[in-house]
């Protein structure tokens, strides 16, 4: 039993290192967008009209994203910042990693070659093994708080 605990503790620390690395990458991306005046409208238009993208994604870009580029530039920056902070602190680890996967997917669908496979694989592993990934971080305290203060009946409904 003690060996199992040590092994799981070692795994938790491995996930801490992976989380910190991923958070660093997301925070650097967000910082670059803030410091270097992130504007992507013309690039999105050229990508949408290039004929390289799947038709459904190009249509989505043309009808929804490109007309609202200014809003999405801000949302992408805020999203990268939130994912980076959440992974750094180990809070809502599974959700943050999943949002990172979704952002990486949308970046890949738009730019076709800009997929950071290393980040994507690490995020998917964190999503799958989130219990260990959030063990050393604020997830532990959030879980303790919710277990103590929110009571759920057998159907999963909150009856506080």
Q: Is the dihedral of CA 129, 133, 135, 139 positive or negative?
A: negative
DSSP secondary structure of 52-96: -S-HHHHHHIIIIIGGGHHHHHHHHHHHHHHHHHHHHHTSSHHHH
| Tokens of residue 102, six digits | 């979704």
The pLDDT value given to residue 5:
45
Structure confidence at residue 56 (pLDDT): 92
Per-domain residue ranges of the chain: 2-149
pLDDT score for 39: 78
C-alpha–C-alpha distance, residues 64 and 58, integer Å: 10
pTM: 0.79
Report the pLDDT value the prediction gives residue 75, as an integer from 0 to 100: 94
In this prediction, residue 113 carries a pLDDT of 65
Residue 1: what pLDDT? 45
pLDDT means per 10 residues, the chain with 160 residues, are 59 85 93 85 84 89 91 93 95 90 87 72 78 76 80 58
């Amino acid at each position: 039993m003690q060996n199992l605990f040590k092994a799981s503790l070692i795994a938790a620390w491995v996930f801490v290192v992976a989380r910190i690395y991923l958070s660093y990458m997301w925070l650097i991306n967000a910082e670059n967008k803030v410091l270097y005046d992130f504007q992507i409208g013309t690039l999105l238009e050229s990508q949408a009209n290039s004929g390289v993208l799947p038709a459904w994604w190009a249509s989505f870009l043309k009808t929804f994203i490109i007309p609202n580029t200014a809003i999405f530039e801000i949302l992408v920056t805020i999203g990268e910042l939130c994912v980076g902070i959440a992974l750094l602190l180990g809070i809502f680890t599974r959700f943050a990693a999943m949002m990172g996967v979704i952002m990486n997917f949308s970046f890949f669908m738009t730019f076709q070659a800009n997929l950071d496979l290393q980040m994507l694989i690490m995020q998917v592993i964190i999503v799958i093994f989130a219990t260990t990934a959030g063990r050393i971080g604020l997830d532990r305290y959030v879980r303790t708080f919710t277990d103590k203060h929110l009571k759920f009946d057998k159907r999963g409904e909150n009856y506080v």
